[in-house]
Amino acid sequence: MEERESIIGSKSFTAVAVNCASKAGEWIKSRIGRFAEPDLKYSMHDLVTEVDKGSERLIRNLIGTHFPTHSFLGEEGVEPGPDASALALERVSDAEYLWIVDPIDGTTNYVHGFPFFSVSIALAYRGQVIVGVVYDPSRDELFVAEKGKGAYVHGKPMSVSREATLRQSLVATGLPADHEFALPKNLKQIEALAPRVRNLRVAGSAALHMAYVAAGRLSGFWEIGLNSWDLAAGALLIQEAGGVVSDQSGEPYQLGVRHVLASNGRIHEELKEALAQV
């Protein structure tokens, strides 16, 4: 326990995560509108640019310089599709320290110049996220959490919102690139939720949506078919800001969760039940 506490208490993991996210974010921003035609990954809705790949390289190299023995799971190092993602996570499940990175979350927005995308970096110790950083270069907003030490934006403590019912809630979701299974299900859930909440938002970066739940700007967020790199950092932000993250059946968050349900805690049950009716 003592060893674990000293690991969690280490400033250097967080400092490196923050440094990586801000360096990558600045670089991404400097390349807006200056990259070759994007490639398609899993489907025509799933894009990747040379900037995604460059950002991941930059982060991987920086982390490797500081912590050469740590394991690394980055989106661009994994074949597209849900099976390959699950397998990649399985392969690193024994890692002591595992960095989980989405070098640009919201690539479609990035490609179109819609300023809602982020860099997401998490560090897990034996499968438990201990550091989470989400950086929004467009607004220069850095969201940081350390396990047991709270969540911060621009150095100010964050806490989740106080809405107690769906009727009062602003809730976000995503439109998944997987149009076989994930999208149809999510669309049905949108249909079910829209009349019951104050309003819905679909802004195109799961990691930033999660950070917004932590910051109390959204009451909740759900999506079908996400990957560990979309969620790991944001999950810690929300938990440290007093919220709840689970899968859609209410099982507590762990790295393998794909169908996420995140909220301020107060609306969690109601949101879970509303989604389960679909």
List interacting residues with ligand IPD (CB under 6 A). Answer: 102, 105-107, 174-177, 204-206, 223, 226, 230
Nearer to Ca ion, 105 or 270 (CB): 105
Catalytic residue among 178, 230, 240, 270: 230
Question: Contact 144/152 with Cβ under 8 angstroms?
Answer: yes
94 annotated ligand binder:
no
Tokens for 132, please give them.
């989470």
Closest CB to ligand IPD among residues 204, 243: 204
Answer for the pair 238, 265: CB distance below 8 angstroms, yes or no. Answer: no
List the one residue out of 223, 220, 232 whose CA is nearest residue 256: 232
End-to-end CA gap in the chain = 43
As given in the structure block, the two tokens for residue 42 are: 């899993």
Contact between residue 110 and residue 49 where contact means Cβ atoms under 8 Å apart: yes
> Can you tell me which residue has the tokens 């967080």?
14
Whether residue 94 lies in the annotated active site: no
- Establish whether 102 is a catalytic residue: yes
Residue 75 binds to Ca ion (criterion: CB under 5 A): yes
* 146 counts as binding Ca ion under rule CB under 5 A: no
Stretch that binds Ca ion, among 56-64, 143-151, 223-231, 243-251 (CB under 5 A): 223-231
Catalytic residue among 59, 100, 104, 224: 104
Tokens of 166: 């769906």
Tell me which residue of 248, 246, 251, 257 sits closest to 276, measured CA to CA: 248
14/228 with CB nearer Ca ion:
228
- Does the annotation count 104 as an active-site position? yes
| Binding-site residue set for Mg(2+) | 75, 102, 104-105, 230
| Binding-site residue set | 75, 102, 104-105, 230
Give the residues lining the site for Ca ion (CB under 5 A).
75, 102, 104-105, 230
Catalytic residues: 75, 102, 104-105, 107, 230
